[in-house]
Amino acid sequence: MLRIHPEGKFILLYGLLIILCFNSLIIQAIGFKKPVILICMVCISVLLYAWMLYFFRDPIRTINYQENGILAPADGKVVVIQEVEEREYFQDKRLQVSIFMSPFNVHVNRSPVAGILKYYKYHEGKYLVAFHEKSSTKNERTTAVIQRKDGTEILFRQIAGFVARRIVFYPEVNDNIQQGEEVGFIKFGSRLDLFLPLDTKLRVKVGDHVQGGISVIA
């Protein structure tokens, strides 16, 4: 049975109403004199709505708990691994790992580690394509920092993409978060960046496809 994420229920309802209204207007305009056009419109509508259902799917996951590991916070493709200067929170050099979520990936975001949410901030911004090198600092985004029980802090950043217009993040500062716990959702194409200590031992490389809450990043 297909499970739909709560973030998609209103969009799916409104989307269905818009599609039905649009098709009704087409039928009123041309009647049934051009069946080929009507069949094409119905097929396009069905395919579009099927894709919307697929996008907002929420598969049941068995979390691959790793006490000393860092799990993928999202489904997608690793597009960036580099040493960068993280200027918002750490103010020092960190290892950045970026995961690009295409419109065909599951868009549920999960906590890469267990710990306490020490910092959170939402930033308004632009809507550059999510794989653009400046999207991490220019696009609409959130920044969250989780402190593990050993004191290590992991920063991850939700980044809106070209068609995304809403980022959702659920926990609040000082909340205790479990590894693999659902913490947010980004609607449509987007990206998620991890900022890790420089001595982190990575288990992924650029081009790898990962699954949130399952794949071990480091």
Catalytic residues: 190
Torsion angle in degrees (nearest 10) through CA of 181, 186, 190, 191: -30
- Which positions ≥6 away from 37 have C-beta within 8 Å? 26, 30
Which among 116, 131, 130 is positioned nearest to 167, based on CA atoms? 130
Residues in the chain: 218
Distance (Å, rounded) from C-alpha 45 to C-alpha 139?
31
Q: Where are the alpha helices (DSSP H) in 63-190?
A: 135-138
